[in-house]
Amino acid sequence: MQSPTRGVVEVQVHYLADAESEPELARCQVVAEDALTLDVEGVGYYTLMWTPTEPLGEASAFTLEDGVLGDTENPEALALALGFALSEGLVQGLEDIRSFALCPDDPRVVRVQLRDPTQAVVMRKDVVVNSSCGICGPRDILEDNALQLEPVASSLQLERQHLLTLMRGMRDSQEVFSQTGGSHAAAVFDERGRVLAVAEDLGRHNALDKVIGKVLLQGGSVRGCGVVLSSRLSLEMVLKAVRAGLEVMLAVSAPTSLAIEVAQKFNVTLAGFVRDQRATVFTHPGRISGVGVDDD
């Protein structure tokens, strides 16, 4: 079906206006869902359920020496693959990558070569990663630091008014959500409150990975930056931020208890319910002016 925006599919529905009215045939726009498989040489396969908002099929690749190769300056599939590899712990930085490339025979496959696959921290492989996947062993993460994570730095400072400005900026960029109401978004911002990249996807994890990858493909870094999210803050979302070096997470919804504990342990500022002129800061308030100081 034709749709006005990439990432949106138009379908026929039976609309019920109320409990008494006869159903009406109508057209409804829903968020697109597809599969993208990462074939990581020497490690395994990861199939991500995602929302492509750009055309697939154009040849593209990335190497550390040459940067992005192909006709697209910031290919979305490679951005998602790169962000996932970083936030999942498969790489620690761009220097660990030999190449990322769309498979010429199947544009829904990204082939990944690491410089040393034996150094990849592999918690799971040969899996389908759904839009709201879980993780095992949260107590091991908190008590024994099983993932061997380092606390993020403390370089980012925000004015209180920036919280709502950043949230509005992300919301204004949500074209897929505006048409479907069914997608999540993530926006990375720097120490000056400038939005560096925005991404949308059906999965909140994908949106975060995708926006991290977009910044990296632009030659930037997300370390010392913050991120705005349209979703709740789960344990896995915070772990992705810690691995990437993001210091602040602003979300429209609530964090979970484990997300708060992990953010506290690894020095991430969590602010939830950032909407309607209000916000609730759950951890490390010292990064936000006039809110408080950190206890540790």
- Annotated catalytic residues are 133
Residue-wise burial string across 91-123, b where 16 or more C-beta atoms lie within 10 A, e elsewhere? beebebbebbbbeeeebbbbbbebeebeebeee
Spatial contact of 226 and 288, defined as CB atoms under 8 Å apart: no
Q: What is the 3-state secondary structure (H, E, C) of 111-130?
A: EEEECCHHHCCCCCCCEEEC
Nearest-10 Cα torsion for 172, 178, 183, 186? 0
Hey, how many other C-beta atoms are within 10 angstroms of the C-beta on 163?
A: 24
Spatial contact of 188 and 197, defined as CB atoms under 8 Å apart: yes
Spatial contact of 273 and 244, defined as CB atoms under 8 Å apart: no
Structure tokens, 208: 């975060």
CA distance 56 to 45: 20
CA distance 34 to 126: 18
Which strands sit side by side in the sheet containing 106-114, from one edge to the other? 67-70, 60-63, 97-103, 106-114, 34-40, 44-50, 127-129
**Axis-axis angle for helices 204-217, 235-244 (nearest 10):** 10
